[in-house]
Structure 1
Amino acid sequence: MIVITAPTGNIGRHLLPLLLEPVPDGETFRVVVRDPARLSDAVRDRVEVVTGSHGDPGTVDRAFEGADAVFWLVPPDSSLTPMDAYCGFTRPAAKALATHGVGHVVGLSALGRGTPVAGRAGLVTASLAMDDLIAETGVAYRAVACPSFFENVLEEADSIRENGVFTDSVAADRKAPLVAVADIAGVAAGLLLDRSWSGTADVPVLGPRDVSPNDLARIMTEQLGRPVRYEHQPTGEVFRTLVGHGLNEAFVQGIVDMKRAKDDGLDAGVTRTDETATPTSFEQWCTETLLPAVHG
């Protein structure tokens, strides 16, 4: 029995088809979801559904009973501090993992462990603490360690369409790994289906090559057939904007600290190899995902 949390999110909606098509012999699946109506009919017919939040003790107790493996993803909650959002949310699950003797957990986490800036990286620091909390239960644990996602660009689809501009707070020429969520789902699916691993380790997913914001602007210009440029946004402005939208100040500071750490090389500590590279290029992602979003 494999339990999938956040099955309707950006990664979960890619992960489930990889697990279900076709279903391996003897494997069964359970999903934890607040609103089962968000699952497709095809998925609901092939999985057991536990309704509720996977941050709730009773929900994870029901969900993890009889489970062999769990895919763990913490949904961002901007009303909390970073540590409460990650570790506070995960503590009931950690207790349930131990109670039910779950053998394997694959968690969505972040790059940066062991780097000089890991302790001051905001949301990433909290995510790494979450990894430690899960590992302390004694399960075999793999932290799928991610850089920023291609999909973050979708938040700026309107600005790209209307103004030909996207923004971030890293240096324009700062090259760093960037990855598609579909590739993250592919790595997670492989780990969940082949549970021959043991112990605790990070599994970096780095995309096919490092790219800078200027590289992204050039690629988007080529793929969209219209000029797109990068505009640097100071972190102080990021903070004021997000707090102005009503987000918890401590959570926003976690976002700002993460962005500063990325500009200081947070994601640069892992060498890209055949094992850590993933296949989807930013060019391919633009054609398949960004182009319809911008034109839509």
Structure 2
Amino acid sequence: MSQFPIIAVTGATGHLGRHVVQALLDKGVPAGNIVALVRDPARASEFAAQGVQVRQADYAQPESLSAALAGVERVLLISGTDMQNRVEQHRNVIGAAKDAGVKLIAYTSILNADTTAMLLAADHQATEAALRESGVPYTLLRNGWYVENYTGNLAQTLPHGVLVGAGGSGQLTPAPRRDYAEAAATVLTEGGHDNATYELGGDTPVTLAQLADEISRQTGQPYAYVNQSVPEYTATLTGLGLPAGAAAMFADSDAGIARGELSTASGDLRRLIGRPTTPLPDAVAASLPR
């Protein structure tokens, strides 16, 4: 008999979900106790080969969620990417989890969700409210920015030599996805996290200029931060082909950086993972394109 519950991870083939599944395995959770919920099981063949249960599930299809969550005791709800419908989709997962008798729902929210003025936070605030109203024990994992938000597109931005944004001299506390994934794995495998809220971020605050300088140092190429006003940055993003709504959302998030809303000194992330968060130089080095 395993000491671990049956744990489901939504979006398991996504950037964060893959790290969470690996973190669970690293913690000694038997592969058969992990349920990878994915829209396309064909993309999860590596999990299946390890013995992880792979089940088809789609946030937008409640009937698929009911079957996928059968027998699951704890679930990580990774926030969806459909910006038009994700609150409804999150409610679908929460409702299916409640019907399935799930004992804990952990949710990847956004840092300082209850106080930030960022437009991006609205869906997270609504989802947090839905969790509280559900009656199912929950854990709010309020994730800060990922280092990979800036290193993941370097193949496109590095040749231009600039990181453009609207964050001014505001500080943020980014950490790599792996750190956030380890925190989620801790909550999913341990007791004592019912109805808890964690403000998660790296140990060391940095500005976007400092982040750009570190990338330049490691790549050996000129790379500097160029600050724009929110309207200017919105126009820059639309000029690069982003839809107007997405461009406005990204620019508004940078305004949140300028206000300090993506920074935390809580120490919650280091406590959950049982070590200091990954230093920025190490995080940048690990995520640079190869």
TM-score, normalising length from structure 2? 0.86
From 161, 164, 167, the equivalent of 1:164 is: 161
- The question of whether the paired residues in 1 share the 8 Å contact of 2:20 and 2:182 is answered with yes
| Unaligned residue ranges in structure 2 (runs of 5+) | 1-5
Q: What is aligned with 1:135?
A: 132
For 1:134 and 1:247, the matched residues in 2 are separated by 31
Please tell me the root mean square deviation across aligned C-alpha atoms, in Å.
2.5
Superimposed CA distance per residue, residues 204-237 of structure 1 (whole angstroms, 9 cap, x where no aligned partner): 2211200001211221222222322111233224
| Unaligned residue ranges in structure 1 (runs of 5+) | none
Report whether the alignment pairs 1:146 with 2:143.
yes
For 1:31 and 1:130, the matched residues in 2 are separated by 21
CA, structure 1 residues 229+26, in 2 after alignment: closer, same or farther (shift >3 Å)?
Answer: closer
Report whether the alignment pairs 1:202 with 2:197.
yes
- The question of whether the paired residues in 2 share the 8 Å contact of 1:122 and 1:256 is answered with no
Superimposed CA distance per residue, residues 240-266 of structure 1 (whole angstroms, 9 cap, x where no aligned partner): 4555636363x5444333332332221
Superimposed CA distance per residue, residues 82-121 of structure 1 (whole angstroms, 9 cap, x where no aligned partner): xx33x11112112112212211111111112343xx2x31
Q: What is aligned with 2:120?
A: 123
Structure 1 window deviating more from structure 2 (213-222 vs 101-110): it is: 213-222
Q: What is aligned with 1:112?
A: 112
For 1:229 and 1:58, the matched residues in 2 are separated by 49
For 2:257 and 2:122, the matched residues in 1 are separated by 12
SS where residue 202 of structure 2 aligns?
A: coil
Q: What is aligned with 1:12?
A: 17
CA, structure 1 residues 255+163, in 2 after alignment: closer, same or farther (shift >3 Å)?
Answer: closer
Mapping of residues 252-271 of structure 1, within 5 Å: 252-268=247-263, 270-271=265-266
For 1:17 and 1:136, the matched residues in 2 are separated by 31
From 1, 4, 7, the equivalent of 1:2 is: 7
- The question of whether the paired residues in 1 share the 8 Å contact of 2:47 and 2:53 is answered with no
SS where residue 134 of structure 2 aligns?
A: coil
Report whether the alignment pairs 1:192 with 2:188.
yes
Aligned residue type for 2:36: V
For 1:156 and 1:226, the matched residues in 2 are separated by 15
For 1:27 and 1:132, the matched residues in 2 are separated by 32
Aligned residue type for 2:91: R
SS where residue 75 of structure 2 aligns?
A: strand
- The question of whether the paired residues in 2 share the 8 Å contact of 1:50 and 1:59 is answered with no
For 1:196 and 1:67, the matched residues in 2 are separated by 18
Number of aligned residues: 281
- The question of whether the paired residues in 1 share the 8 Å contact of 2:145 and 2:201 is answered with no
Aligned residue type for 1:185: A
Aligned residue type for 1:174: G
4+ residue runs over 4 A deviation: 241-244
For 2:145 and 2:48, the matched residues in 1 are separated by 28
TM-score, normalising length from structure 1? 0.85
CA, structure 1 residues 55+73, in 2 after alignment: closer, same or farther (shift >3 Å)?
Answer: farther
For 1:242 and 1:214, the matched residues in 2 are separated by 19
Aligned residue type for 1:100: A
Report whether the alignment pairs 1:100 with 2:110.
no
Q: What is aligned with 1:212?
A: 207
Mapping of residues 244-283 of structure 1, within 5 Å: 245=241, 247=243, 249=245, 252-268=247-263, 270-272=265-267, 275=271, 278-283=276-281
Structure 1 window deviating more from structure 2 (3-12 vs 201-210): it is: 201-210
For 1:207 and 1:184, the matched residues in 2 are separated by 9
